[in-house]
Structure formats: C-alpha cells, structure tokens
A and B are shown apart, each in its own frame.
Chain A
Amino acid sequence: MTDWSWLVPLPVVIPLFAAGLALALYRRPRLQPIVSVTALSLVLLASVALLVIVDDGPLVVDVGDWAAPVGIDLVADRLSALMLTISSAVTLCVLLYSLAQGRDDDEESAPVSIYHPTYLVLTAGVANAFLSGDLFNIYVGFEILLAASFVLLTLGGTGERIRAGSIYVVVALLSSVLFLVAIALVYAATGTVNLAQLAIRLPEIDPGIRLVLQVLLLLAFAIKAAVFPLSAWLPDSYPTAPAPVTAVFAGLLTKVGVYAIIRTQTLLFPEGRLDDVLMWLALATMVIGILGAVAQDDIKRLLSFTLVSHIGYMVFGIALSSDAGWSASIYYVAHHITVQTALFLVVGLVERVGGSTSLTRLGGLARVAPVLALLFFVPAMNLAGIPPLSGFLGKLGLLEAGVHVGTPLAYTLVVGGIVTSLLTLYALVKAWNKAFWQSPEVEPRPVRLPFGMVGPAAALIGVGLALTFAGGPLYAYTERASEALVERSPYIDAVLPDGERGTGDSADVAEHDDRISIDLGGGDG
C-alpha cells in the first residue's frame, strides 16, 4: 500500500508558504491572487484526497520525526478530513468572491495587499486546528487563525470596525487564556498534551480533577463556538466586517470550536458527565439565538443570530453522545458551514444592489435582481430545514437521534429544535419578503452584478444542494466517522501503534518520559 501520509501536512504548509510568497509580492497586486487561488485549490485537492484515503484508517504524521507523545503529531481521520474538505471548498469560493469584489469596487472595500497573506494564514490556522493531534498544537492553530481574523475584522481601521474588533479581540484573548490554563492543568495532571496519550491516561486520574479539566476545556471551546451564554460577542462583532470576511468567519471559525468540542468530548471524556448541562445549553442557544434573530432589522445581524441559534443543534447532537447523535452533528456542521457562508455572500450582493442591509430600507429587489431573489431563497430554505434540502436531512437526523435516546430532556430538545426551525423559517421568510417584495422608499437602480461574485455564491449554494443529493453516502461517511470516534481505538492505535510511542525516531530520548507520568492529586483522590 502506498504511503499517503505526506498529504497530511499539506493543508497547513501550502497556505503558510503561499502567505509568505503573497506578502513578498505585496507590490504586485496582479500576482497575489494567482498565488492564493493556486494555493487554496491545491489545499482543496489534498483535502479531497485525504477524505477518500482516510476512509481506510487514520493517517498520522509525526512532525520532524519526533515520536508522538513528545513530538507534535498531525492526525487526519474521517472527521478532520471531512471538516478540511468542506472548509477548503468554502475558503476557495469566498476568496474568488472577494477577488471579484476587489476588481469591481473602489479602494475602500477592496482587498488591500495585506488581505491575501492574512487570508492564507487564516486557512492554515483552521487546517492546523482540524489536523492537530496535540492539545497545545490545537491552541497554536487557534491562535494562528485568531491573529489572522483580528486583522481581517479590522481591515481599513474604520471607527465601526475598531469598535466591533475590540469586543471580538478581547473575548478571543480571554478564551485563549482559558484554553491555556486548561492545557497547563491537563499537563500537570497527566504529564502529556498528546490527545491519544491523554485518552489513555485521563481515565487513570481522579474523577473530580477530570471533571474540572473537562469544564475548563468546554468553557474555552464554547466561547469560540458561541454557545449561549457565551455567544453575546458574535452578533456584536461579525456584521461590520466586509461581506466575504463575515461569510468565512460565520462559516468556519465557530465550527472550529464545535470541532474541538466533538474531538475532546469523544476522545478525552467519553463518559459524558456533562451531557445534561450541554443539553440545556443547546436548548438555550437554539431558542434564545433565534428569538434574537426574529427581533432584528439589520439582515447581517439577523443572520449572525441564526448562526448562534444553529450552533445549538450541533451541541444538541454532541450532548446526545450516541452514535446517531455524533453522526448527525457532524453532518449538520458540514451542512451549516456551506449554507451560512452562502447566505452571507448573498447578503453581500443584496447590500450592493439595495445599498443597505436594513430590512426597513431595502425593498423591491425581486424586480431589479430576480436571480438574487432565487440565490437568497434556496439557502434560506435550506437553513430553515425545508425538505428535501440538506438542512432538513441534518435536522431529521438530530431529531431521530434525540427520540432514540428517549429521555424527557431529549424530547424537550426535540421540541425545541422544531420550534427553532419554524422560527428560523419565519425570520428568513420575513427577511426575504422585506428585501425582495416590499415596495421600497427609493426605487433601487438596476446594478449589474459581477459574475465573479455571483458565480462563487452560486457554487457554494450548489455545494449545499450537493450535500442533499449526496446525503446518503455522506451520512454513511459521518456514521463511519462517529463509529470510529466512539470506538476511540482507531485514533489511539494510529498515533501510538504500540500503546507507548509514535512512529518517530526519538525513542532513545524519550525513554525517560515515563517518569513524567504523575498525577496531580490522582494518588490520594
């Protein structure tokens, strides 16, 4: 069998190198786009290849040939390969969209020379977080993508963006500190930060300390994923950024947090002691998020609130901690990344044509831009979960999993999920009616929409529809992914073949490693 593990680091390495190249080419605005589009296309190819290959078993790379528990390892299993594929498809579409916007607009909203390197660094950070098999390396991945997102969110440095950026940056830094504290305590308790080794060692420590570690990690990730009540920062900060930036943030950044929750809950804390708490949080996130969306006038803020609300569905799937729950949750993440990004891209187009994002001021767009009406309608219905679109399949899977678990709390969540879905439909149909059918105060002038912007948005909607038609195979894939997650041994065996160390070349140095395996209070617990 051919060894394909050289593919694993590519989604991190290619964008980083391309970022350097794009930065060096800052005086050549024509070459920069070529570099970044090529890089992200290659990443997409590598991710698709990984998606196919890791179906036979996880691929592991010990970076620098240092054996796993001591060195850093990158692991591609079904979950991370699926996340990578969806995220690289989305980042490529958004990049093409922003290029067309840059060609068509004035300097004010156009991508400046720093845009390309930063965007590439962002994708590298996302890929690093998805692939990392090491808690500290996940932290580094988070920091890479956060640093890039700070720059993208405050592009141009206008007063409004600085205001929104301050909130985002402070909240992000706080969650980073929490994550760092959690890592320090994990290391103090177990003497390792390698996920596979943690999976072996965590059951050996005191249950109370294990619970503290779980809560700390969940807290750090829940801020990133915008789970209520840690979600207030999101609708405050996302809407002010340029449309493509908001789109990629909405699609990807919260999902990195959700991915981290899925990974740590399955691999490190499989006994699910916080499931009931997570259930309540999921319910609150769904219902309060969507009630916020219903109240909004600005369409970007409305979408930001639906984003928060639908994170609740994923947390619901996670909290069920059954095979079906994980599987539906993973499918829902894939669906939600594409559909939410597509909606934000279309809203960028709406803003172009209508000159505003306020639902009071917008109107009559159906006459001026009928294509746009369709482009907004399809992902909106998809998000609300109208059959037969992928949103329906995702929600159906979650509800089935909830009914299958069958506790009163799970049934409450099922009802909450249906109510949220209906309210999403209400909020989006209201937005659609107002933007496209209401008689406008000022008749909008016909604006030619550049194909470069419509094309990528339509392509993303196409991906969303493809998730519907490929629903069967994709669900089968997520089911296999969740089986491996629940089983845990495929991941651990791939990283530590002999249960002790990885395949790297540092065995003689690491012999003494066992001495670090002490627990904080584990002995007397």
Chain B
Amino acid sequence: MIDMTPNVVLVVTIGVLFTAGVYLLLERSLSRVLVGVILLGNGANLLFLVAGGAAGRPPLVGVEPEGQMSDPLPQAMVLTAIVITLGMTAFLLAMAYRSWQLHRHDEVQDDVEDRRIARLAAIDERATADDDTEEGSETLDDQAATARDETGDGQPADEVRR
C-alpha cells in the first residue's frame, strides 16, 4: 500500500483554483473565461497529482528502490492534459482576439434569433408567418362575440330572435 493521505496544501490549492475558475467562467468577457479555464485545468492537473499518491523517488526501474517510487502514470496523464490545455488556450486566445478585431470587445453575445423567438413568445405571436396567418389581433373572445348561428341562414343570433 502506498500512503494515499493527500497533502492538505494541495487539496486547499485545488479548492481555491476551482472556486476562482468557476467564478471567472461565469463572466461574459472571453479573456476572463480563458483565465477561468486555465485555473480549472490546473486544478484538475493538481488533482491528478493527488490521485497518484504521495510524492516519491523518480520512477526509474533499477535505479531507485521500488517501494519509494512515485506513481508515473498520473504524471504521464497530467503531461498530456497540460499539452491539450495549452492548445485549447491558444485557440481561445485567438478567438478572443478575433472577437476584439471585429467588435472592439470580447464579450460573448446572445443569440439574436433566440432572442427574437423569445420576444415573439412573450407577446404571444407566432414565429412564422404565411398565407394562412390571420391578420389583425382578433382573439377567440372577439370571434365568439360575432359568431353566427348556422340555423338562422347566416344571420347573427340576436337578429334571428328579433
């Protein structure tokens, strides 16, 4: 059994990184989101180090005593994760820059079409219009008020009675 008691400093650091990362991720500006992603990524990498157990000697077979080696597998995985985060960060940075080029800011905007549909829904209007769409704002109540009784030869009900 390796000593699996995690180092409390590492655990606290991971907590801080994740808290700050999540907070920044909720921002609108892409560059803040970017910093948030980096913090989250580093938090996850530290988590891998904790997952590998206590720190030990370099994992070289035949050079170090086997009982004191640290686990090399999480380190390999962290290395891969770091490289991937680097690439993703570069892409996000490029995208933030492009957004700044186009709009002079890097804030993520709302979807215009989505907003339009939501507004239409709010005023109870249909999203698509065509030949079948009835003009005017006649509601069901209005229609009911002027409805004709079929038995009265097309005359409104009150006229038949008269």
- Identify the A interface with B (CB < 8 A): 70, 136, 140, 143, 147, 150-151, 154, 157, 159, 162-167, 169-170, 173-174, 176-177, 180-181, 183-185, 187-188, 193, 235-236, 239, 295-298, 301, 359-360, 363, 430, 434, 438-439, 509, 512, 515-516, 518, 520
Contact = CB atoms under 8 A, between A and B. Distances in A.
Contacts of B99: 162-163, 166
B157 interface: no
Nearest to A159: B102
Given A166-B108, A236-B114, A177 B127 contact: no
B25 A174 contact: yes
B107 to A, nearest CB: 9
B130 A438 contact: yes
Given A188-B50, A297-B117, A301-B113, A360 B130 contact: yes
Contacts of A298: 113
Given A147-B91, A166-B95, A297-B127, 17 more contacts: A140-B84, A147-B88, A166-B108, A167-B108, A169-B92, A169-B95, A170-B33, A176-B84, A181-B44, A183-B77, A193-B77, A236-B114, A295-B127, A359-B128, A430-B128, A434-B128, A516-B71
B25 A170 contact: yes
Contact of B2 (A165, A180, A518): A518
B117 A296 contact: yes
Contacts of A157: 98
Given A183-B77, A184-B48, A360-B128, A236 B111 contact: yes
Given A163-B109, A187-B48, A512 B95 contact: no
B51 interface: yes
Interface in B25-55: 25, 30, 33, 37, 40-41, 44, 47-48, 50-53
B66 interface: yes
B74 A187 contact: yes
B121 interface: yes
B4 interface: yes
B71 A147 contact: no
Interface in B90-135: 91-92, 95, 98-99, 102-103, 108-109, 111, 113-114, 116-117, 121, 127-131
B80 interface: yes
Contacts, number: 123
Contact of A184 (B44, B92, B127, B128): B44
Contact of B77 (A136, A509, A518): A136
B127 A173 contact: no
B117 A169 contact: no
B95 A297 contact: no
Interface in B61-99: 61, 66, 71, 73-74, 77, 80-81, 84, 87-88, 91-92, 95, 98-99
Contacts of A150: 88, 91
B108 A163 contact: yes
B1 interface: yes
A162 to B, nearest CB: 5
A297 B113 CA distance: 9
A64 to B, nearest CB: 13
A176 B88 CA distance: 11
A236 B117 CA distance: 13
> Which of A136, A184, A193, A360 neighbours the largest number of chain B CB atoms within 10 Å of its CB?
A184
B128 A181 contact: no
B128 A170 contact: no
B51 to A, nearest CB: 4
A159 B101 CA distance: 10
15 contacts: A140-B84, A151-B91, A163-B108, A163-B109, A164-B111, A187-B52, A188-B50, A301-B113, A363-B130, A430-B128, A438-B131, A509-B61, A516-B71, A516-B73, A518-B4
Contacts of A193: 73, 77
Contacts of B131: 438-439
Given A163-B108, A188-B51, A147 B117 contact: no
Contacts of A162: 95, 98-99, 102
A184 B92 CA distance: 24
A296 B51 contact: no
Contacts of A516: 2, 53, 71, 73
Nearest to A157: B98
Contacts of A140: 80, 84
B95 A165 contact: yes
A177 B95 contact: no
A183 B76 CA distance: 13
A147 B74 contact: no
A36 B37 CA distance: 34
A360 B66 contact: no
Contacts of A301: 113
A154 B95 CA distance: 9
A295 B108 contact: no
> Which of A147, A169, A180, A438 neighbours the largest number of chain B CB atoms within 10 Å of its CB?
A180
Contacts of B66: 512
B131 to A, nearest CB: 6
B46 to A, nearest CB: 9
A162 B109 CA distance: 10
Nearest to A183: B77
Nearest to A363: B130
